[in-house]
Amino acid sequence: MSQPKIVVLGAGYAGLKTVKQLQKKNINAEIILVNKNDYHYESTQLHEVAAGTEPASKITFKVTDVLDSKKVTFIQDTVSLVKKDEKKVVLEKQGELSYDYLVIALGFESETFGIPGVNDFSKPLVNIKTAEECKKHLDETLANYQTTKNDADLSIVVCGAGFTSIEYLGEITNRIPKLASQLGFPQDKVKITCIEAMPTLLPMFSEKLGSYGIDVLKKRGVEFKVGTPIKEIKENTVVYEENGELKEINANTIIWTTGVKGSSVIGESGFSERRGRVMVESDLTVAEHPEIFMIGDVSAVMDNESGRPFPTTAQIALKQGESVADNLEAKLAGRPSEPFSFKPLGTVASIGNNVGIGNVMGKEVKGYIGSIMKKNIINKSLLEVGSTKTLLKKGRFDYYH
Ligand code: FAD
Ligand code: NAD
C-alpha cells in the first residue's frame, strides 16, 4: 500500500516548524515541503534588511540545510492555487501536486486597505525582495541629495505606527548618522515622519512603557502624527487627514507598514476568509476539510480571553507548527486530534540594536535589558526553525556594547 502524502506549503515559521517536528517523528508518510525560494527568511527581522543595518544573508538560510533529505522532499516552486475538493495543489512551474493531508502556511502580504496609490508610490516591507528594495531606495535617495539639494530626498515617511514601523524606525534612526557621514548629506535636515491613524501609539503597552519607546524615537528625530489616517499616496507625497482636513507631506522615501493580510492564494482558492485568514477549527483544520490544516498568518485563532483572534505572530506560528505535527501523527495512527492551545509569552519590540520595549510573562522590560530579551527571542526562534549551526552563524550574540 502506498504511503499517505503530507504536503506542507510555505517554509516560514509555521511550515518549517511543522516539517522539522514531523521529521523527528517515526511516521510512515511521504512528506513534501513546497516553498517559493530555496531559503527561509526570519520575517521578524525584515526591518533590519529594509533599513540596511543587516544584510539579507544574516536573516536567511537554505531550507535544505535543516531538512532530512531521507524523510522530506523539498520542491522550490510557487503555489498558485489549492483545489481543495480535488485534494490537489497547483504549482506555477511543476503543475499539479496531489495530497492526502495538506498544511497551508503561506504567510503574509502587505495590506493596502484599497488606499489609492499605495502599490504605485510606496514601498512595502514584507519579504526579502521588498526589504532589499526599501534599503536600496533609501540609500540612493539620501545620496541623491548631494546633487539635487531637494529637501524631499531627505524626507522619509513611515506609514502606520505598529510594531513593524516602530522597529523599522529604530533601525533607520540608528543608521542615518553613519550614512550622513558616509554619503555627505546634512543629518540635521533629515525629516522622518510616522503617520498613524489611531489616536494612541503602542496601545498594547502601559502608557509609561509606550511613551518610553516613543520618546526614544522622538529624541532621535522622529515626528509622530497620531489620529491622522492616510488617505492616498501620490508620487513622492503622502495625503492624510487631520482634524477633518486633507494635508500633504512630500517625501521621496515612503515606507508602507500599515499592517498585513494572509496570502492571496487563500481567497483565490475559495476558502472562507477575511483578509486572507481563515478562522480555523480547534485543531487548526479547516471546516469540512479535516485533511487541511491552516496555520501561521493565513489562520485566525480565537483567543477566548479577549474574544478576539490572537494577533498573527511568529510566536503563535511556531506553536501551531508543533501542534499540527502532533495531530498529523495522531491522524495517521487513527487517533483523534487534540485541540490547539496557546498562551502568549509576551511581546518585545526592538528600537534599534541597543533598546527594546516589551512585556515578558507579565513583566515590563525596557532599554538595554529589552534589547537583550529581543536578541534571546531571535536566537530561540532561529533554533526552532534552523539548527545549532544556523544559530551559531546567524544568531545575535552582540550583547555588550
Ligand atoms: P511567513 O513568515 O510569511 O512565511 C511564509 C513562507 O511561505 C515564506 O517562506 C514565503 O516565501 C512562502 N510563500 C509565500 N507565498 C508562497 C507561494 N505562493 N508559494 C510558495 N511559497 C510561498 N512576530 C513575532 O512573534 N515576534 C516578532 O518580533 C515579530 N516581528 C516582526 C517584524 C516584522 C518586520 C514583521 C513584518 C513581522 C513580525 N512578526 C513578529 C510577525 C511574524 O513575522 C509573522 O507572524 C510570521 O512570519 C508568520 O509566519 P508564517 O510562517 O505564517 O509566514
Ligand atoms: P499592525 O496591524 O500591527 O500595525 C499597523 C498600524 O498601521 C496600526 O497601528 C494601524 O492603526 C496603522 N494604520 C492602518 N491603516 C492606516 C492608515 N490608513 N493610515 C495610518 N495608519 C494606519 O501591523 P504590523 O506592525 O505590520 O504588524 C503585523 C503583525 O506582526 C502584528 O500581529 C504584529 O503584532 C506582528 N509584529 C510583531 C512584532 C514584535 O513582536 N516585535 C514586530 C512586528 C510585527
Angstrom distance (rounded) from CA 171 to CA 183: 18
The bound ligand whose nearest atom lies closest to the alpha carbon of 317 is: 1
Q: Is residue 161 lining ligand 2, measured as CB closer than 6 Å?
A: yes
Asked if residue 145 and residue 249 are part of one domain, the reply reads: yes
CB neighbourhood size of 36 (10 A): 16
CB neighbourhood size of 308 (10 A): 10
Asked if residue 272 and residue 245 are part of one domain, the reply reads: no
Q: Which of 224, 242, 259 represents a domain boundary (last residue)?
A: 259
Query: Can you give the pLDDT of all 401 residues of the chain as single tens digits?
Result: 689 999 999 999 999 999 999 999 989 999 999 999 999 999 999 999 999 999 999 999 999 999 999 999 999 999 999 999 999 999 999 999 999 999 999 999 999 999 999 999 999 999 999 999 999 999 999 999 999 999 999 999 999 999 999 999 999 999 999 999 999 999 999 999 999 999 999 999 999 999 999 999 999 999 999 999 999 999 999 999 999 999 999 999 999 999 999 999 999 999 999 999 999 999 999 999 999 999 999 999 999 888 999 999 999 999 999 999 999 999 999 999 999 999 999 999 999 999 999 999 889 999 999 999 999 999 999 999 999 999 999 999 988 76
- Ligand 1, closest atom to CA 50? 34
Asked if residue 174 and residue 123 are part of one domain, the reply reads: yes
**Ligand 1 pocket, CB under 6 A:** 10-15, 34-37, 40, 43-44, 46-47, 78-79, 105-108, 164, 167, 263, 265, 296-297, 312-315, 317
The bound ligand whose nearest atom lies closest to the alpha carbon of 344 is: 1
Asked if residue 309 and residue 242 are part of one domain, the reply reads: no
With cell 513593524, the residue in question is: 164
CATH number at residue 91: 3.50.50.100
pLDDT on residue 399: 82
Asked if residue 338 and residue 240 are part of one domain, the reply reads: no
pLDDT on residue 1: 62
The amino acid occupying position 57 is S
The three three-digit cell numbers of residue 167, written as one number = 522597529
The three three-digit cell numbers of residue 339, written as one number = 485541540
The amino acid occupying position 275 is R
- Ligand 2, closest atom to CA 47? 43
Give the residue numbers annotated as catalytic, written as ranges: 167
Identify the domain containing residue 154 by its residue range.
Answer: 118-259
pLDDT on residue 210: 97
Burial class (CB in 10 A: 0-12, 13-18, 19+), 181: exposed
Mutate to test the pocket of ligand 2, among 257, 258, 306, 355 (most ligand atoms within 8 A of CB): 258
Burial class (CB in 10 A: 0-12, 13-18, 19+), 219: exposed
How many folded domains does the chain comprise? 2
Asked if residue 244 and residue 172 are part of one domain, the reply reads: yes
Q: Is residue 349 lining ligand 2, measured as CB closer than 6 Å?
A: yes
pTM, whole model, 2 decimals?
0.97
**Residue 127 in domain:** yes
Question: Whose CA is closest to atom 23 on ligand 2?
Answer: 259
Q: Which of 230, 259, 288 represents a domain boundary (last residue)?
A: 259
Angstrom distance (rounded) from CA 61 to CA 209: 34
Q: Is 209 helix (H, G, I), strand (E, B) or coil?
A: helix
Asked if residue 243 and residue 154 are part of one domain, the reply reads: yes
Asked if residue 135 and residue 101 are part of one domain, the reply reads: no
Asked if residue 211 and residue 274 are part of one domain, the reply reads: no
List the one residue out of 296, 347, 368 whose CA is nearest residue 105: 296
Q: Is residue 371 lining ligand 2, measured as CB closer than 6 Å?
A: no
Asked if residue 242 and residue 137 are part of one domain, the reply reads: yes
Helix axes 13-24, 367-385, angle to 10 degrees: 50
